[in-house]
Amino acid sequence: MAKNPNKTPMRNQKPEERIHNFNEVPYGYSEEEALVEAERCLQCKHQPCVKGCPVEVPIPEFIDAVLAGDVEKADRIIKSKNNLPAVCGRVCPQEEQCEEVCVMGIKNEPVAIGRLERYVADYNLERECEPVEDKDMVTTYPEAKGRKVAVVGAGPAGLTAAADLAKYGFDVTIFEALHETGGVLRYGIPEFRLPKNIVDKEVNAIRELGVDIKLNTVVGKTITVDELFADGFEAMFIGTGAGLPRFLNIPGENLNGVYSANEFLTRVNLMKAYKYPEYKTPVIISDKVAVVGAGNVAMDAARTAKRLGAEEVYIVYRRAEEQMPARDEEIEHAKEEGIIFKLLNNPIAIHGKDGRVASMEVQEMELGEKDDSGRRRPVPIEGSKWELELGTVIIAIGQSPNPLLTRNTKNLKTEFWGGITVDDNLQTSREGVYAGGDVVTGAATVIKAMGAGKDAAANIKDYLISEGKKNE
Amino acid sequence: MYEILAKEELAPTIKKITVKAPLIAEKTRPGNFIILRVNEKGERIPLTVADYDKETGQVAIIFQEVGYSTKLLGSLDKGDHIHDLVGPLGHHLEMEGYKKVVLLGGGSGTALLYPKVKGFAESDAEVITITGARTKNLVILEEELRKKSDRLYISTDDGSYGHHGFVTDVLKDILENEEVDLVVAIGPVPMMRAVANMTEPEGIETIVSLNSIMVDGTGMCGACRVTIGGETKFTCVDGPAFDAHQVDFEELMNRLTFYQNEENMAEEMEVD
Ligand SMILES: Cc1cc2nc3c(=O)[nH]c(=O)nc-3n(C[C@H](O)[C@H](O)[C@H](O)COP(=O)(O)OP(=O)(O)OC[C@H]3O[C@@H](n4cnc5c(N)ncnc54)[C@H](O)[C@@H]3O)c2cc1C
Ligand SMILES: Cc1cc2nc3c(=O)[nH]c(=O)nc-3n(C[C@H](O)[C@H](O)[C@H](O)COP(=O)(O)OP(=O)(O)OC[C@H]3O[C@@H](n4cnc5c(N)ncnc54)[C@H](O)[C@@H]3O)c2cc1C
Ligand code: SF4
Ligand code: SF4
Ligand code: FES
């Protein structure tokens, strides 16, 4: 049978409906759709797709299990490498990872690996299958028994490191500053892209591996790195993420009605302001909203504002269409939902009335010479300033590493921009302390953070079960 | 979950709650605060650690019931639970190297002041405390402050107790007659601004503790941003104490009003 050149499409909630609710936009594959898609995989011997995945999910194997109708086995195969498949199947930028190098993609569209991963994970979460471990897929080390390892941060990096360390047999405790797990998965990525009950279920599966999670604990404040070592922890993984919001440093930025994307999204997602007043944290959105920036965070903020009832939502970005850093799928979804794109426009001031945002002054730009990053640099067009009237401005121009742990830990080397310095083994300047994810790389992706958590866990295992450190 | 071990009403609408939180008690120093959520659907609200004891692992907060969350907190009794508590957050205050310190607390600001008075009492400095309230029955912590201060002044707006007038009147008298090398002011923004305006021409070092609106308290959202000497700072990780002469009080006051309508709406709902 000739294979379908195109990906099996995913059914979505209609734009005119979904802008009024926070339910998930794509519905996920049905069994029939999943089988049709699984059929497209060529089962390549050299498996390029696996190398495209930062945690090396055994892609052809799990797709084969789907085809054979054994979705539970497919789940075990994925889980041997990836503890958050329902999350990754939804938010991975597959087009630049596994799917980018898929052989099917050379002439046709690549296999929809992410969608299949989501299908498998959801199938098993819905049926609440016991998290069965395939014995030969996980190696436990008797030398790890009873030895304590600390993980700081319950974002994707920390969760992955913790899961793997627990599988090796260590006694793992995660310390998380917030009152909920998940990091950005919880406070940043909105419900309509990643339902929080999915995060809950995947985190619970990690708890069932024996990982203890201590919430409301800020390492560096509530307890220090040194105290953890004194308490008998023998090694540590730091996955504290990049959550410190950047601002534009333009006049008017501290007016009421200007939010960082993090504050806006945290109020809505973590604190559930979209269910205000049932939940007690408010968020104020006016009829006209501008989101500054054009990455995934900006798209999430814009689409969230729309759902909260804003009539006009603008994306204001100083560069051009093809330079927008957001995933194509996110931009597409935003456009379908009526988000208005004001590209090549640079905000230069925010003006207020009675202490609240009234308008944003914007400078039109055109593309000039290429800059260091190889992108054509936007330059102002003389005499082309204009005013955009609005009541809310959301700044989504990036985040820097979280400052609390690094500021309060001695002898932990950091880069000038705040990231933690690590060597090739992801070890920091302190022995036994490893780090990975956004706090090392700057804001990146869920799967890269997970890859780092996985590598660090393996290195911590080697470090603790190597000669000098062996438990006599 | 944190069980409430003791609850006390210090004045109408001002309450003190003690919970066991050994890790926080161990680490707190004067000036630190915690963030709590009363229940699962609650907001995260910042409150100063008013008292702490490393031995017993107990931590006390003193708060004024101003809106929904503080009223809900005030409705809890001994034996009830507070859902989450995280801290200690923020920088503590440096207390060494001063000869004579004046500490002013206005309204429930006095609760925030108390740990600092205690801290300075242990330093070499002479400690002068001024506490002010609208009226006599709102004066709090009088005995505790008297014990820890070399001198204590009390003022009430209506003259029902102590000096008739504002804490700033008392401060003015002191500054006219004595050499003071540090002033610490905590209370409503207009009071802190008045103190700053009074000490600035004299060049007296002055510290205020800012009560910005917060969400996470860990430097992640920027809700708490304030302008200090023309630069944006985050109260939760850069403060909460700042050089009073550098603070943009106008902006702070404006930012504190942003959710007023929403808060009124929340308040009208039953405290459940
Ligand atoms: C709005 C938004 C949308 C995004 N969309 C996507 C997407 O679609 N696809 C994608 O791949 N990536 C996306 N990203 C990026 C992705 O979420 C991050 O790269 C990823 O979450 C990084 O994981 P992490 O574990 O390193 O850090 P985080 O997820 O930031 O987790 C760090 C955790 O550490 C905790 N912490 C910090 N300091 C301390 C401390 N001192 N003590 C204890 N705990 C501490 C934090 O509270 C947090 O829970 C998005 C990011 C945002 C903000
Ligand atoms: C570092 C820090 C330490 C604090 N310590 C104490 C303390 O020890 N005792 C105490 O009583 N209070 C303290 N506060 C203030 C306390 O956090 C607020 O009173 C509380 O969040 C109000 O919550 P609410 O829901 O009861 O009132 P809301 O309904 O939120 O507000 C009621 C009124 O107060 C205003 N408001 C909102 N948030 C604040 C705020 N953070 N500060 C002042 N006014 C606000 C609103 O605009 C409204 O007019 C502190 C604040 C900070 C930032
Ligand atoms: S985890 Fe992400 S990159 Fe890896 S296979 Fe799944 S979708 Fe692809
Ligand atoms: S590269 Fe594509 S077609 Fe080949 S095995 Fe991987 S998913 Fe299947
Ligand atoms: S409260 Fe969020 S950054 Fe300070």
Residue B160 distance to chain A (closest CA, Å): 37
Question: pLDDT digit string (tens) for A21-66?
Answer: 999 999 999 999 999 999 999 999 999 999 999 999 999 999 999 9
Report d(CA A358, CA A350) in Å as an integer.
Answer: 8
CA quadruple A382, A384, A385, A390: dihedral positive or negative? negative
Q: Which residues have a Cβ under 8 Å from the Cβ of A194 and sit 6 or more positions away?
A: A24, A87, A90, A91, A185
B130 CB near ligand 5 (under 6 Å): no
Cα dist from B259 to A192, B93, B189, B211, B223, whole Å = 26, 29, 17, 14, 12
Length of chain A (residues): 472
Which residues of B are less than 8 Å from A407 in CB distance? 237
Give me the pLDDT at residue B272, please. 42
State the helix-helix crossing angle for A196-207 and A156-168, rounded to 10 degrees.
30
**Min distance B217 CA to chain A CA atoms (Å):** 9
Block residue for tokens 């000038």: A416
Ligand 3: centre distance to CA A13 (Å) = 24
Q: Out of B85, B221, B266, whose CB is closest to A262?
A: B221
CA A445 from chain centre, in angstroms, equals 5
Q: Which two tokens stand for residue B1?
A: 């979950």
**With an 8 Å Cβ cutoff, are B262 and A276 in contact?**
yes
**pLDDT (tens digit, 9 = 90+) per residue, B167-211?**
999 999 999 999 999 999 999 999 999 999 999 999 999 999 999
A64-83 b/e (C-beta count within 10 Å ≥ 16 → b) = bbbbeeebebbbbbbbbbbb
What is the reported pLDDT for B107? Answer: 82
What are the structural domains, with CATH classification, of chain B?
2-89 (2.40.30.10), 100-255 (3.40.50.80)
- Residue B208 Cα to ligand 5 middle (Å): 18
Q: Tell whether A247 lies on the interface with B, counting CB pairs under 8 A.
A: yes
> Who contacts A15 (Cβ-Cβ below 8 Å, separation ≥6)?
A336, A337, A338
Cβ–ligand 5 distance for B219 under 6 Å, the answer yes
Q: Sign (positive/negative) of CA torsion A25, A31, A37, A43?
A: positive
Cβ of A67 below 6 Å from ligand 4: no
CB-CB under 8 Å, B227 with A221: no
pLDDT of residue A204: 93
Q: In angstroms, what is the span from residue A114 Cα to ligand 3's centroid?
A: 6
Distance from the first to the final alpha carbon of chain B: 18
Q: Could you read off the pLDDT of B29-74 as tens digits, one per residue?
A: 999 999 999 999 999 999 999 999 999 999 999 999 988 999 999 9
Rounded CA-CA distance A416/A87 in Å is 32
Distance from CA of B7 to the nearest CA of A (A): 23
Q: Please work out whether the CB of residue B48 comes within 6 Å of at least one atom of ligand 2.
A: yes
CA end-to-end distance (rounded Å), chain A: 61
Contacts (Cβ under 8 Å, ≥6 apart) of A96: none
Query: Is pLDDT of B270 > 60?
Result: no
Q: State the pLDDT at residue A466.
A: 75
From the centroid of its chain, how far is CA A467? 37
Ligand number with the minimum distance to the CA of A58: 3
**B3-17 residue pLDDT tens:** 999 999 998 889 999
Most A CBs within 10 Å, among B218, B220, B235, B271, to test the A interface: B220
pLDDT at A129: 63
Q: Once rounded to an integer, what is the mean pLDDT over residues B109-133?
A: 91
Of A121, A186, A182, A175, the closest CA to residue A156 belongs to A182
Mutation for A interface: B73, B91, B218, most A CBs within 10 A: B218
Residue ranges of chain A with per-residue pLDDT less than 50: 471-472
Are A258 and A395 in contact, with CB atoms under 8 Å apart?
A: yes
Please state, as a whole number, how many other Cβ atoms lie within 10 Å of the Cβ of residue B214.
Answer: 22
Residues of A in contact with B37 (CB under 8 A): 179
- Residue pair A108/A99 in contact (Cβ under 8 Å)? The answer is no
Q: Return the number of other C-beta atoms located less than 10 Å from residue A141's C-beta.
A: 14
Closest by CA to A379, choosing from A390, A369, A365, is A365
What is the pLDDT, as a whole number, of residue A277?
87
For the CA of B224, the closest atom of ligand 5 is: 4
Encoding tokens for residue B141?
């912590």
What value of ipTM does the predicted structure carry?
A: 0.93
* Alpha-carbon span B60 to B121, nearest angstrom: 19
3-state secondary structure chain A: CCCCCCCCCCCECCHHHHCCCCCCCECCCCHHHHHHHHHCCCCCCCCHHHHHCCCCCCHHHHHHHHHCCCHHHHHHHHHCCCCCHHHHHHHCCHHHCHHHHCCHHHHCCCCCHHHHHHHHHHHHHHCCCCCCCCHHHCCCCHHHCCCEEEEECCCHHHHHHHHHHHHHCCEEEEECCCCCCCCHHHHCCCCCCCCHHHHHHHHHHHHCCCCEEECCCCECCCECHHHHHHCCEEEEEECCCCCEECCCCCCCCCCECEEEHHHHHHHHCCCCHHHCCCCCCCCCCCCEEEEECCCHHHHHHHHHHHHCCCCEEEEECCCCHHHCCCCHHHHHHHHHCCCEEECCEEEEEEEEECCEEEEEEEEEEEEEEECCCCCEEEEEEEEEEEEEECCEEEECCCEECCCHHHHCCCCCCECCCCCECCCCCCECCCCCEEECCHHHHCCCCHHHHHHHHHHHHHHHHHHHCCCCCCCC
The partner residues of A366 in beta bridges, in order of sequence, read A379
Cβ–ligand 3 distance for A450 under 6 Å, the answer no
State mean pLDDT over B256-265.
78
Q: What pLDDT shows up at residue B265?
A: 61
In the numeric block, the tokens 């021409």 are attached to B201
Option in B27, B221, B265 nearest A266 (CB): B221
Residue positions counted in chain B: 272
Cis peptide upstream of residue B240 (ω within 30 degrees of 0): yes
Contact B18, B5 (CB under 8 A): yes
**Angstrom distance (rounded) from CA A145 to CA A168:** 9
| Sheet of strand B81-82, all strands in order from the earlier edge strand to the far edge | B81-82, B2-11, B14-20, B58-64, B45-53, B33-37, B84-89
Q: Does ligand 5 lie within 6 Å of residue B214's CB atom? A: yes
Q: How far apart are CA A186 and CA A138, in angstroms?
A: 28
Distance A442 CA to ligand 3 centre (A): 20
H or E element at residue B172: helix B167-177
Are A394 and A210 in contact, with CB atoms under 8 Å apart? Answer: no
φ, ψ for residue B262, nearest 5 deg: -65, -40
Other residues' Cβ atoms within 10 Å of the Cβ of residue A249: 8
Distance from C-alpha of B224 to C-alpha of A380, rounded to nearest angstrom: 33
Residue type, B193: R
Q: How wide is the angle at C-alpha A152 spanned by C-alphas A150 and A156, nearest 5°?
A: 115
| Helix axes A328-336 and A296-307, enclosed angle (nearest 10) | 20
Instruction: Pick from B13, B65, B66, B116 the residue to mutate for probing ligand 2's pocket: most ligand atoms within 8 Å of its CB.
Output: B66
pTM listed for this prediction: 0.94
Average pLDDT, chain B: 92
Tell me which chain B residue has its CA closest to the CA of residue A279: B41
